[in-house]
Amino acid sequence: MDKISLFDKKLLQEAAVSDEQLNSFISRRLVGEPVAKIIGKKGFWKDDFIVSKDVLDPRPDSETLIEAVMEKFPDKNQTLRILDLGTGSGCLLLSLLGEYKNATGVGIDISEKALTIAKKNKGDKAAEFIRRDMRQDLSDLGQFDIMISNPPYISSNEIQTLERDVKDYDPLLALDGGADGLDFYRALAKQHLAPALFIEIGKNQETQIIPLFEQQGWHFVQSWKDLGGITRVLEFKN
Ligand SMILES: C[S@@+](CC[C@H](N)C(=O)[O-])C[C@H]1O[C@@H](n2cnc3c(N)ncnc32)[C@H](O)[C@@H]1O
């Protein structure tokens, strides 16, 4: 990269406490480090979230999942219990808890370092973050009203072809979905912990993912597209 955008430069200027630090930030940006990783925060939905090298930077496309849940659960006073599998920074769960003030949630992740970030983002929200593997039996967590997940969904051999700001700066654990990218959907389909499930998916994965969930007793309800017109979120019911 030989130039940085004016918008990125403005964010770096706002975060830098000295000219020296700004120059260091600009040098890091010029070698491809994402602005969010440099300044340690990323805006998502209605909040800024702390991020680090240990969590995926929240993506605007993932806001589609928040919109989908809000469309299907219009009563914001509902006392919902929400489970977020692969919570990372906690951006999905915490954004929903910001909308549903009477709701509570559990966010699980296999990465202790990601959970440390999620706990920093928690604020006064009624969320609990715990280390669990979404491929294991989670029935001891009890029943929920809604399950949400944005699991790793890039196929292993595709990772090296990703843009540098993703493959070099987002954790591999947040990206790698196994040989065909679908390993975590196979695991999620077996988790019957709520009557409603909303998942984020990668481009063109819906034709493979829908039958995979239906084989495990889920019924496909609806899909939502992101701002780029790509099918991004699927809803299933039990
Ligand atoms: C694509 S990131 C999504 C993070 C966040 N929910 C978001 O939307 O920005 C996937 C997350 O799944 C976590 N993860 C990977 N393998 C896991 C597993 N076996 N069990 C639970 N979480 C896992 C990663 O650590 C990462 O935080």
Q: What DSSP line would sit under 55-104, residue for residue?
A: SPPP-GGGHHHHHHHHHH---TT---EEEEES-TTSHHHHHHHHH-TT-E
Specify the residue with its C-alpha closest to ligand 1, atom 2.
174
- Helix and strand numbers, DSSP H then E, in the chain: 10, 9
Give residue 163's pLDDT: 87
pLDDT at 199 over 80: yes
Over pLDDT 90: what percentage of the chain?
A: 95
**What distances in angstroms separate CA 45 from CA 105, 108, 178, one per listed residue?**
17, 20, 29
How many A from CA of 103 to the centre of ligand 1? 22
* DSSP β-bridge partners for residue 105: 82, 127
Residue 2 in this model has a pLDDT that exceeds 80: no
For residue 59, the ligand 1 atom closest to its alpha carbon is 9
- 114 contacts: CB under 8 Å, gap ≥ 6: 54, 55, 87, 88, 89, 171, 173, 174
Please state, for a pLDDT cut of 70, what percent of the chain lies above it.
Answer: 99
What does the pLDDT read at residue 3?
85
Predicted structure pTM score: 0.96
Residue 165's pLDDT band (cuts 50, 70, 90): confident
Average pLDDT, the chain: 96
121 close to ligand 1 (CB < 6 Angstrom): no
Cβ of 194 closer than 6 Å to ligand 1, yes or no, is no
Measured by CA distance, the residue closest to atom 24 of ligand 1 is: 174
Above 80 in pLDDT, residue 1?
no
pLDDT tens string 51-102: 999 999 999 999 999 999 999 999 999 999 999 999 999 999 999 999 999 9
- What whole-number distance in Å separates Cα of residue 34 and Cα of residue 37? 5
Does residue 111 have its Cβ closer than 6 Å to ligand 1?
Answer: yes
Q: What is the pLDDT of residues 9-56, one digit of tens each?
A: 999 999 999 999 999 999 999 999 999 999 999 999 999 999 999 999
Does ligand 1 come within 6 angstroms of the Cβ of 191?
Answer: no
How confident is the model at residue 164, as a pLDDT?
A: 85
Please identify, in words, the CATH class of the domain defined by 50-237. Answer: alpha beta
Nearest CA to ligand 1 atom 8: 150
